[in-house]
Structure 1
Amino acid sequence: MSRPPHDTTAAALKAAAQGWPVFPLAVGDKAPPRGLTDWEKRATCNPDQIRAWWKRAPYNIGIATGPAGLVVIDLDVPKPGQHPPRPWAMPGVHDGADVFALICQRAGIPLELETFQVRTRRGGLHLYYTAPPCTRMPSTNGSVGWLIDTRAWGGYVVGPGSVVSLLDGTGPYTVQHGIAPAPLPPSLFKLLESTPIPPKRPVHVPIPDSRHSAYLRAALERELSHLAAALPSQRNRTLFGTAAALGELVAGGALPEQEVKELLEQGGGALGLSPGEVARTVASGLRHGARRPRRLTA
């Protein structure tokens, strides 16, 4: 990954000066650096803490949207070869911004764009709004519409001034419209609040009938129970340990990798960890476990 071409300290301090708690994201990445857990609680507006963090590296900037009192609507653009699914496959709909405009039109509410805007690295758009008082709106992933996510409590956005370099695209996050965030319009709040969050599909890990079936089921139950009981300060570490333990059985051919991976990602998400943090920790834990394959002998 390439390093940002400039120091991001000033951009982090500028975000914090607006009352938006920030925390480091890995250089060139969208996820926190290794070892930084509980980012929503550790995010801060304290300039001394920010300078201390940013002395270590030209980190990218994470803005904890919930503590910042923000609701950010993330309007993404499709990746190469990605096309609108039903019911969004229609003339004039090409990306998340088109879908959002169509949703507002169908709901009979104005498209409120006069607010703080950030252009993302692949050409998407972040719309910043201040959250309604006395609310704790959750973040969503795709439930509002195709290529639309929302970031509020339990979520964060990559702040302006950051530069991300990943396989699916490289580029900066830049302020496109630098006015103060507008209050989230009541009509838009009602629309977002009423959007149902689809339940997650239960993951079934197939275990063939054999003399080891009971052992494998017990191992899965034990590790998942351990993960569910993780203390807030130990969530990421516990997820890594659980993935490493099950990764030994996956590498030994006793458990299927894809289903175990999905099960771990659901468990990590249930703990309140961010999707990026969960995916990275699960992948790292499975790789670690694969170094010591556990093969069950007859």
Structure 2
Amino acid sequence: MTTLQAPTTGAAALACARRGWHVFPLRPGDKRPALRNDWEGRATTDPARIRRCWNHAPYNVGIACGPSGLVVVDLDMPKRRETPPPEWNMPGVNEGADVLAVLSERHGEPFPLDTFTVITRRGGTHLYFTPPPGAELRNTSGRHTTGVGWLIDTRACGGYVVAPGSFVDLPDGAGPYRIVNDVPPAPLPAWLARLLTAPRPAPSLGANSVAGTVADLPAYVQAALKGEAARVADAVTGGRNHALNKAAYNLGRLTGAGVLDHETAATVLFEAAAVHFGPTRADVTPAEARATIRSALAAGARNPRTITRGNLA
């Protein structure tokens, strides 16, 4: 497979670059970045750089959505034994495409089919769009309350997608990413743009056992908890552990300053990470999350944040 994959994915990377899309290497046969850090900043359209990189190894191809001027709507398939949440438990709703069809109908709009479209290795769909002028859309997760609907993820600034021409082989499914509608990306439908820019519920601040504690904290600390929980919950594949580590370090600095207790910080972070728990290498396990939270909170506590009176208002 390696011998056949190398020229195919290299050609796929160059094809993306010709469209003006910034690419970077993913691990061969995988969805995770091959770069250790700053994959978004290092993504490129330079053919010479791309040839050098893909001549080195049979990397899969990632498209950095932000620099590429893309918003990609990912209509996912349910994982094994996954059932819909109560609000989407209705006849005919079995996958992300069904959810988008319901949302389209509710808004009195057609299903947005006329755009660049890719079928993913598990039978899901990537719909490529261009963002509204001046908008800076971020990522959303369909398995979290900040998403637009069950099994609908969106990738924009700070996110990436696996490019067509890649082949992913993971325990939950193997297969290629294939173009099925090779047209220029259409502008993001206005009704979808409104959903993605409308205020949405803040991420959960942990289990019921800490809810009262959070409510009693200073406004500055509550805002920090909400922001770091959102960072973790909205992280994309390949950046989830990094996001959890950064969030735990930042909250650890508050525990070191004495304005946030360790148990509350750890519980909020674990609840935010739980949206990514799953059985595959692309997911996060509870044990991994606990280990990252424990070490990063401790590291942050060793570098406590200086808290001024204004912060605590």
Q: TM-score by structure 2 length?
A: 0.66
Structure with more helix by fraction: 2
Question: SS at the partner of 2:58?
Answer: coil
CA distance in 2, matches of 1:279, 1:81: 17
Pick from 175, 181, 202 the counterpart of residue 179 of structure 2.
175
Asked whether the 8 Å contact 2:117–2:182 carries over to 1, the reply is yes
% identical equivalent positions: 47
Asked whether the 8 Å contact 1:239–1:264 carries over to 2, the reply is no
Asked whether the 8 Å contact 2:206–2:271 carries over to 1, the reply is no
Q: Which letter maps to 1:14?
A: A
Partner of 1:56: 56
Correspondence list, 1:123-202, <5 A: 123-142=123-142, 143-194=147-198, 196-202=199-205
The CA deviation at 1:83 is: 2.1
Correspondence list, 1:72-87, <5 A: 72-87=72-87
CA distance in 2, matches of 1:3, 1:167: 18
CA distance in 2, matches of 1:237, 1:124: 25
The CA deviation at 1:132 is: 1.4
Partner of 1:97: 97
The CA deviation at 1:264 is: 7.5
Can you list the C-alpha shifts for 1:113-144, whole angstroms capped at 9, x where unaligned?
11100000000000001111221111101111
CA distance in 2, matches of 1:177, 1:113: 9
Asked whether the 8 Å contact 2:18–2:45 carries over to 1, the reply is yes
The CA deviation at 1:239 is: 3.7
Q: Relative to structure 1, is the Cα distance of residues 5 and 285 closer, same or farther in structure 2, using a 3 angstrom cutoff? A: farther
Question: SS at the partner of 1:201?
Answer: coil
Runs of 4+, deviation exceeding 6 Å = none
Partner of 1:6: 5
The CA deviation at 1:166 is: 1.1
CA distance in 1, matches of 2:268, 2:282: 14
Q: Which letter maps to 2:94?
A: H
Question: SS at the partner of 2:105?
Answer: helix
The CA deviation at 1:183 is: 1.3
Can you list the C-alpha shifts for 1:62-84, whole angstroms capped at 9, x where unaligned?
10111111111000111222222
The CA deviation at 1:185 is: 2.2
Unaligned 5+ runs, structure 1:
207-223, 229-234, 247-254, 268-275, 291-298
The CA deviation at 1:260 is: 5.1
Unaligned 5+ runs, structure 2:
210-223, 229-240, 253-261, 274-280, 296-313
Question: SS at the partner of 2:48?
Answer: helix
The CA deviation at 1:261 is: 9.2
Partner of 1:39: 39
Further displaced range: 19-28 or 75-84: 75-84
Asked whether the 8 Å contact 2:63–2:161 carries over to 1, the reply is yes
Q: Relative to structure 1, is the Cα distance of residues 285 and 54 closer, same or farther in structure 2, using a 3 angstrom cutoff? A: farther
Q: Which letter maps to 2:103?
A: I
The CA deviation at 1:52 is: 1.8
Q: Relative to structure 1, is the Cα distance of residues 237 and 187 closer, same or farther in structure 2, using a 3 angstrom cutoff? A: closer
CA distance in 1, matches of 2:15, 2:57: 18
Can you list the C-alpha shifts for 1:242-284, whole angstroms capped at 9, x where unaligned?
89xx9xxxxxxxx99xx959737969xxxxxxxx99959x949
Q: TM-score by structure 1 length?
A: 0.69
CA distance in 2, matches of 1:75, 1:122: 11
The CA deviation at 1:154 is: 1.0
Q: Relative to structure 1, is the Cα distance of residues 103 and 162 closer, same or farther in structure 2, using a 3 angstrom cutoff? A: same
Aligned length in residues: 243
Q: Which letter maps to 1:20?
A: W
Q: Relative to structure 1, is the Cα distance of residues 149 and 4 closer, same or farther in structure 2, using a 3 angstrom cutoff? A: farther
Question: SS at the partner of 1:74?
Answer: strand
CA distance in 1, matches of 2:119, 2:135: 27
Question: SS at the partner of 1:66?
Answer: helix
Q: Relative to structure 1, is the Cα distance of residues 9 and 117 closer, same or farther in structure 2, using a 3 angstrom cutoff? A: same
CA distance in 2, matches of 1:198, 1:237: 20
